[in-house]
């Protein structure tokens, strides 16, 4: 069995199209139904996103592997190398070999108990005290950089709080892993913190909880410019975006800033659903080249797309499903990209459940924009360049609208660009174009 995500995955219930087939994405059906119309043929097979073949000669590879295993069994200095160790190492080595150099763990394997945390991420769940922080081992302080909205620390801790003790234990001299271990624990158990806020010393208690991350944030900026931030494409995000965008539309908001900064992906299907909210029926949103050079084209089935003048905020941490959405809306809806170049991950991973309960993940497809462009490694280049350090971005999220515009240059640039734009003309109806560009 397999699922499609951006930390690895194919979509539940998804049927693969025939080579060069067209897939119509049902807006809320959770399925992709194959349509019969073929895509335009490619001029040539697209180049691999990253090499996995060795360049040197390696005679009798299978026999050589077995010979090495036999030698290790017979000659290794310790008897601790058992059969499980050998085959685990061989499996990890195979997956490492088919991962790109810049991301060696892109293909990986999880034990059943390890996969639980991965599943939580896909569902938008987190188990913690709900903060992001930076640790200074020199003075033993943990500085809160962000309090997660909806988490157990909301209303208790604040950004810039300095945590000096956890459960009565000083942090000076500890490693980051040791500090993390102090904060982690069983759900619904308390954590005692000694906190310095400005010049006040506070004794606070926060409970560890499993909670839903608020991955969709909205605001209204001057000039009737809507703001929608999607921090991760966890399950249910598309439905939440639809609700918020429909409210914007009801309030006569015609300009939209879609903030995908820091969005490293998530569930691919959710990303496609978000893109489909804006893309008219029949328009291509993404092309996937899979094993055997099979090409699948994902097209919208939305007969009533939402119409906005759009600026999309991206940065170096916008990856995978975040890049898919940005590329689709740029190509299909003339959205303007604002910020800094994206991460550059244009591959689709799939998670398979093995017979022993483990999960394995590796790339099963190369992704291309509606216009046939790959952004792998190079990323998507914004039309309006503006930079903001990711740590500074986190600090600005809690600011008021006015202060955020002052302290967030990419956001300010996107707002300025949209505020100067005329309101979009009413939609003339869905675009029924189905011809697909070639993959380059």
The one-character DSSP state at 330 is: H
User: How does pLDDT run across 149-181, given as a tens digit for each residue?
Assistant: 777 888 888 888 999 999 888 888 888 878 888
Architecture in CATH for domain 128-212 = Roll (2.30)
- For 176-262, where are the alpha helices, taking DSSP H only? 176-183, 237-250
Rounded to 5 degrees, what angle do the CA atoms 129, 133, 139 make?
Answer: 115
CATH of 216-346+364-419, one of 1.20.120.790, 3.40.50.740, 3.90.226.10, 2.40.170.20: 3.90.226.10
Note whether 363 and 107 are within 8 A (CB): yes
| Residue 39 pLDDT grade (very low, low, confident, very high; cuts 50, 70, 90) | very low
Q: What is the pLDDT of residue 434?
A: 38
pTM of the predicted model as reported, rounded to 2 decimal places:
0.73
Instruction: Give, rounded to a whole angstrom, the gap between the first and last alpha carbons of the chain.
Output: 31
Q: How far is residue 214's CA from residue 209's CA, in Å, rounded to a whole number?
A: 15
Q: How far is residue 222's CA from residue 418's CA, in Å, rounded to a whole number?
A: 11
User: How does pLDDT run across 126-140, given as a tens digit for each residue?
Assistant: 556 777 788 888 888
User: How does pLDDT run across 79-135, given as a tens digit for each residue?
Assistant: 888 889 999 999 999 999 999 888 888 899 988 877 766 665 555 445 567 777 888
Q: How far is residue 260's CA from residue 312's CA, in Å, rounded to a whole number?
A: 7
| Residue 15 pLDDT grade (very low, low, confident, very high; cuts 50, 70, 90) | very low
Query: In the predicted model, is pLDDT for residue 187 greater than 80?
Result: no
Q: Report CA-CA distances (Å) from 156 to 144, 165, 183, 197.
A: 12, 16, 15, 11
Q: How far is residue 31's CA from residue 11's CA, in Å, rounded to a whole number?
A: 8
Token look-up 């608020």 returns 214
Q: Which residues contact 181 (CB under 8 A, 6 or more apart)?
A: none
Phi, psi of 9 (to 5 degrees): 175, 165
What are the extents of the domains in the chain? 128-212, 216-346+364-419
């Amino acid at each position: 069995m397999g699922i499609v995500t951006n930390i690895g995955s194919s979509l539940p219930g998804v049927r693969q199209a025939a080579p060069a087939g067209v897939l119509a994405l049902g807006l809320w059906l959770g399925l992709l139904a194959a349509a019969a119309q073929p895509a335009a043929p490619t001029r040539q097979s697209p180049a691999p996103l990253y090499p996995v073949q060795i360049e040197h000669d390696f005679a009798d590879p299978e026999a050589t592997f077995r010979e090495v295993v036999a030698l290790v069994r017979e000659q290794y200095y310790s008897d601790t190398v058992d059969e499980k160790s050998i085959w685990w190492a061989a499996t990890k080595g195979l997956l490492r070999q088919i991962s790109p150099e810049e991301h060696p763990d892109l293909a990986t394997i999880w034990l059943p108990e390890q996969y639980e945390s991965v599943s939580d991420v896909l569902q938008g769940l987190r188990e913690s005290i709900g903060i992001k922080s930076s640790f200074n081992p020199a003075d033993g302080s943990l500085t809160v950089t962000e309090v997660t909205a909806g988490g157990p620390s909301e209303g208790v801790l604040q950004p810039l709080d300095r945590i000096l003790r956890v459960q009565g234990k000083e942090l000076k001299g500890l490693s980051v892993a040791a500090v993390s271990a102090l904060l982690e624990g069983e759900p619904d158990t308390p954590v005692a913190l000694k906190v310095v806020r400005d010049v006040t010393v506070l004794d606070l208690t926060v409970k560890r909880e499993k909670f839903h991350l608020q991955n969709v944030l909205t605001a209204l900026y001057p000039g009737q410019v809507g703001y929608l931030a999607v921090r991760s494409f966890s399950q249910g995000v598309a439905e939440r975006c639809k609700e918020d965008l429909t409210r914007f539309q009801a309030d006569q908001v015609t300009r939209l800033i879609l903030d995908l900064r820091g969005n490293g992906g998530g569930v691919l299907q959710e990303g496609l659903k978000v893109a489909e909210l804006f893309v008219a029926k029949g328009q291509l949103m993404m092309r996937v080249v899979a094993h055997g050079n099979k090409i699948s084209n994902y097209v919208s089935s939305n007969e009533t797309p939402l119409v906005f003048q759009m600026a999309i905020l991206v940065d170096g941490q916008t990856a995978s499903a975040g890049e898919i959405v940005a590329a689709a809306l740029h190509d299909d809806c003339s959205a303007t990209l604002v910020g800094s170049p994206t991460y550059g991950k244009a591959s689709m991973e799939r998670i398979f459940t093995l017979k022993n309960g483990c999960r394995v993940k590796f790339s099963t497809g190369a992704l291309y924009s509606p216009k046939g462009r790959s952004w792998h490694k190079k990323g998507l280049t914004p039309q309006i360049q503006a930079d903001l350090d990711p740590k500074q971005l986190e600090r600005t999220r809690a600011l008021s609208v006015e202060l955020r515009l002052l302290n967030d240059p990419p956001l300010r640039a996107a707002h300025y660009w949209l505020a100067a734009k005329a309101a979009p003309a009413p939609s003339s109806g869905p675009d029924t174009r189905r011809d697909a560009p070639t993959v380059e």
